[in-house]
């Protein structure tokens, strides 16, 4: 039986006197969609960045597909992992097509193969072919984020890391992009680890929630299981936030 795609063993990371991660053990299997949730400063983004080597732990080991992240060449590791974050980070001097094709170009793909991949990805993320020649500044925020997802998928990674990918978008666009990405996750057989502060988003999109508090894992399980059996009052309060919001909306609008 194959082992987990991602493994963290006793991982610790400190910034001065602050323990961002404190003895974290985590295994993520191929095909899972995991949401990392918790309060600000709980260690979510630090944990995510240890997986692609953007943060080196002080202690412990991180493995991806059995390979030690600490011993891997960073550029080779990151080309195997898609990474999407809130600011998108598209190159402003490049067209949309050129942005998407950055990693394939670095991997030595020929122009025809890269162009075909760009065409496929624009369709996958529901953008019209006409945007390929546009500059990122000509697109809406939601369109830029779709380009960011396409760029992350360009080299056909099995693993996607997402750090508050929709946090800067309006609610309608955020909801649509989240649902579209979940369909992509299922269609392409991806493994996804996503950081989000939005508990409704986490519950609706993820198969599994990992709740962090003070650099440690406070709870880990499916949304339904955690809601049914969350002993820690802080964890329960976090998980029940979407339900409380729905109840307040129903009361306000008389539903």
Q: For residue 235, what is the DSSP state?
A: H
pLDDT for the residue 226: 87
Q: What is the pLDDT of residues 40-92, one digit of tens each?
A: 889 999 999 999 999 999 999 999 999 999 998 888 888 889 999 877 788 99
Reported as a pLDDT band with limits 50, 70 and 90, residue 12 is: very high
User: What pTM does this model have?
Assistant: 0.90
Cα–Cα distances (Å) from 6 to 9, 159, 170, 174, 224, in that order, read 10, 9, 32, 27, 23
Domain assignments of the chain as residue spans, ordered by start: 1-70+194-255
Total length of the chain: 255
Q: What share of the chain is helix, strand, coil (3-state, %, to 5)?
A: 45, 25, 30
Reported as a pLDDT band with limits 50, 70 and 90, residue 251 is: confident
Rounded mean pLDDT, 164-185: 88
Tell whether the model's pLDDT for residue 1 goes beyond 60.
Answer: no
Report whether 218 contacts 212 (CB < 8 A): yes
Q: Which residue has the higher pLDDT, 240 or 158?
A: 158
In percent, the amount of the chain with pLDDT more than 90 equals: 68
pLDDT for the residue 227: 81
CATH of segment(s) 1-70+194-255: 3.40.50.300
Tell whether the model's pLDDT for residue 163 goes beyond 60.
Answer: yes
User: What is the Cα Rg of the chain in Å?
Assistant: 19
pLDDT for the residue 208: 96
pLDDT for the residue 46: 96
Q: What is the pLDDT of residues 120-142, one digit of tens each?
A: 999 999 999 999 999 999 999 89
Q: Average pLDDT, whole number, for the chain?
A: 90
Q: How far apart are CA 208 and CA 197, in angstroms?
A: 15
Residue 206, SS3 per DSSP: coil
Q: What is the pLDDT of residues 193-236, one digit of tens each?
A: 999 988 889 999 999 999 999 999 999 999 888 888 777 777 77
Q: How far apart are CA 158 and CA 156, in angstroms?
A: 7
pLDDT for the residue 167: 79
pLDDT for the residue 249: 66
Reported as half-sphere exposure (CB side, CA atoms, 13 A), residue 73 has a value of 3
């Amino acid at each position: 039986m194959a082992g987990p795609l991602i493994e963290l063993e006793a991982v610790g990371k400190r910034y001065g006197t602050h323990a961002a991660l404190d003895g974290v053990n985590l295994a993520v299997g191929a095909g899972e969609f995991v949401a990392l949730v918790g309060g600000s400063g709980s260690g979510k983004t630090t944990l995510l960045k240890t997986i692609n080597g953007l943060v080196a732990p002080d202690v412990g080991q991180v493995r991806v597909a059995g390979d030690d992240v600490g011993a891997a060449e960073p550029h080779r590791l990151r080309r195997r992992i898609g990474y999407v974050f809130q600011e998108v980070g598209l190159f402003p001097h490049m067209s949309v097509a050129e942005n998407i094709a950055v990693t394939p170009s670095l991997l030595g793909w020929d122009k025809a193969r890269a162009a075909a991949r760009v065409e496929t990805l624009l369709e996958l993320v529901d953008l019209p072919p006409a945007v390929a020649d546009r500059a990122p500044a000509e697109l809406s925020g939601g369109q830029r984020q779709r380009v960011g997802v396409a760029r992350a998928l360009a080299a056909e990674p099995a693993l996607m890391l997402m750090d508050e990918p929709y946090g800067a978008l309006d609610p309608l666009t955020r909801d649509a992009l989240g649902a579209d990405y979940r369909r992509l996750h299922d269609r392409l057989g991806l493994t996804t680890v996503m950081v989000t502060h939005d508990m409704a988003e986490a519950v609706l999109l993820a198969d599994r929630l990992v709740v962090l508090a003070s650099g440690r894992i406070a709870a880990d399980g499916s949304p339904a299981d955690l809601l049914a059996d969350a002993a820690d009052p802080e964890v329960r309060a976090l998980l029940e936030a979407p339900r409380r919001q729905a109840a307040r909306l129903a009361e306000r609008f008389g539903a």
